[in-house]
Amino acid sequence: MSPARAPAPLHVRGVVLPAAEHQDLWVRDGRVTYEPVPGADTVAAGWVVPGLVDAHCHVGLDAGGAVPVEEQERQARAERDAGALLLRDAGSAADTRWMDQRDDLPPIIRAGRHLARTKRYIRGYAHEIEPEQLVGYVEDQARRGDGWVKLVGDWIDRDTGDLGPCWPRSTMQAAIDAAHALGAQVTAHVFGEDALPDLLGAGIDCIEHGSGLSPDLMEVMAERGVALVPTLVNIANFPGYADAGEAKFPAYAARMRRLHARRYDTIGAAYEAGVAVYAGTDAGGVLPHGLVATEVLELAAAGMPPAAALGAAAWDARRWLGRPALEEGAPADLVVYPADPLADLAVLAAPSRIILRGHVVR
């Protein structure tokens, strides 16, 4: 375990985004200040961005389920070293609370463990339950998490051989109401089209992936303030998922290819409709950690302007999750780049300095 360290006074010079103003920024007692701090070491100069956010990852998981503590730490470090200094863990079978004592690892906002129908999700990931159990399990995960609960909204239905909704509308309504009564928000994994109307009708707060969204449902999301975390770096793998399922589930394979082919149009249309879109990678299952810069590029490929795509992984994502950016007194979580990322988002792949909780970590 890393012992607590008193952060030294630091000085960073550059253009602070999103205001794009040339400013001197200091770190005092681990917090941002714009008042000069005598004796502070100048540790970086360049374009300064609030610590990035991976709004959908799974620290503590790999393709086989929960991983040992050593691998959990490696995953968190990979996120940190990519500039992701705030993680929203969208479901994990591992207990990562021990990381909260580490000042060198990113803070994690947890959703507890996935809640899925029996035999309708990845083995070893979720509490696999039946509809009559959902409310009780949602209440338990709401108490265990950090203000979020994660449902698996659709998966392969072996009776139809295609993606299908996992929960009856009435059950989801009761479960989401129960979570809200406990002060938690609910999000759901949804690849396809069919589960979305009932999830939105039941009052879901966020949709993960959302590759099956239609224009009418985008309007509903925008009107109700339902967020979207598309994980385009994961949707890029849909053709491979289709190939793997082709022999047993040809209808599923065809659907996954259709969803993949229109992914940029779908997510771009959601943004244009006014849906709040945030950057998440879905790292921790099939995908490695540390892909947040690639996801920002994918959001731009879907039609989001550079400032919106970067905001989806920085200042806007932090505001959504109730965390500060780089205002006076905020925790000193920031990333410095050698060139303007708004002129070329590819710059995000190579940060020149990373400061977490007022400590230089890279």
pLDDT digits (tens, 9 = 90+) for 318-362: 999 999 999 999 999 999 999 999 999 999 999 999 999 999 999
**Please, are residues 176 and 203 in contact by the beta-carbon 8 Å criterion?**
yes
Q: What separation in angstroms does the CA of 40 have from each of 24, 126, 332?
A: 12, 48, 14
Q: Which CATH architecture has domain 51-320?
A: Alpha-Beta Barrel (3.20)
**If 0-12 CB within 10 Å is exposed, 13-18 middle and 19+ buried, where does residue 144 land?**
middle
The stretch 60-67 carries a mean pLDDT of 95
* Topology of the domain comprising 10-49+325-360: Urease, subunit C; domain 1 (2.30.40)
pLDDT tens-digit map of 223-281: 999 999 999 999 999 999 999 999 999 999 999 999 999 999 999 999 999 999 999 99
pLDDT over 90 at 161, yes or no: yes
Residues spanned by CATH 2.30.40.10 within the chain? 10-49+325-360
Residue 198's pLDDT band, with cuts at 50, 70 and 90, is very high
The neighbouring-strand residues paired with 36 are none
Residues spanned by CATH 3.20.20.140 within the chain? 51-320
| % of residues, the chain, pLDDT over 70 | 99
Residue 3's pLDDT band, with cuts at 50, 70 and 90, is very low
Cα pseudo-dihedral 115, 116, 117, 123, rounded to 10 = -130
Residue 6's pLDDT band, with cuts at 50, 70 and 90, is confident
H-assigned helices in 130-237 = 134-144, 169-181, 196-201, 215-224, 232-235
pLDDT tens-digit map of 162-179: 999 999 999 999 999 999
**What integer pLDDT is reported at residue 1 of this predicted model?**
41
| % of residues, the chain, pLDDT over 90 | 98
